[in-house]
A = this chain, B = another copy of it.
């Protein structure tokens, strides 16, 4: 997705520890025009999948999930991150380790927000080792719903999570896949 790759190249900052900062347009300051174009692209890929719900994880996935849900004319839902599995009410839950922040979280969604007849598209800003995506698959399975696939803004291809999940049969659609990066040089997969 050329608009996104351009924004990453111009505005993204590569930091030590394989961190790519894109907060100025993607996930803290949000360029809603760019994200609407990205959502349109995601819609084009999944438009025949009868998506009924868009699922993401707080906070940085919420913007893209909402704009994507507008195209599918369905609701968006985000999983909350909790440090503990201390759950009130009936919750769907899945453990999720963040290599970026070196923390273990539990993702929580009230069970009533994902129905067994839902066809769920997972949307997120980043995919690295695929921990959040795997947790999302688990949440959807626990709900008895159908996992349609995953739409990712930026996949860190060099971390392998996306390719592994594709091998396992998950439809992982990434708008930009980075094969390598260092300060001043980001190489995208064609």
Measured CB to CB, the residues of A under 8 A from B are: 23-25, 28-33, 35-36, 58-59, 62-63, 65-67, 69-70, 73-78, 80, 109-110, 112-113
Task: Supply 17 further A-B pairs (C-beta < 8 A) apart from A28-B78, A30-B78, A32-B69.
Answer: A23-B110, A23-B113, A24-B113, A25-B75, A29-B77, A29-B110, A29-B113, A30-B65, A30-B75, A31-B75, A32-B66, A36-B70, A59-B78, A59-B80, A62-B63, A62-B66, A63-B76
Chain B residues closer than 8 Å to A31, beta-carbon distance: 75
The answer to whether A28 touches B59 (Cβ under 8 A) is no
Residue of B nearest to A64 (CB): B66
Residues of B near A36 (CB, < 8 A) are 70
Q: Could you name 27 residue pairs across A and B whose Cβ atoms are closer than 8 Å?
A: A23-B113, A25-B75, A28-B78, A28-B110, A28-B113, A29-B75, A29-B76, A29-B77, A29-B110, A30-B65, A30-B77, A30-B78, A31-B75, A32-B66, A32-B69, A32-B70, A32-B74, A32-B76, A33-B73, A36-B70, A58-B59, A59-B59, A62-B62, A62-B63, A62-B66, A66-B66, A66-B67
Nearest chain B CB to A1 CB, angstrom units? 19
User: By the criterion CB–CB under 8 Å, are B80 and A30 in contact?
Assistant: no
When all copies of this chain in the complex are counted, the total is: 2
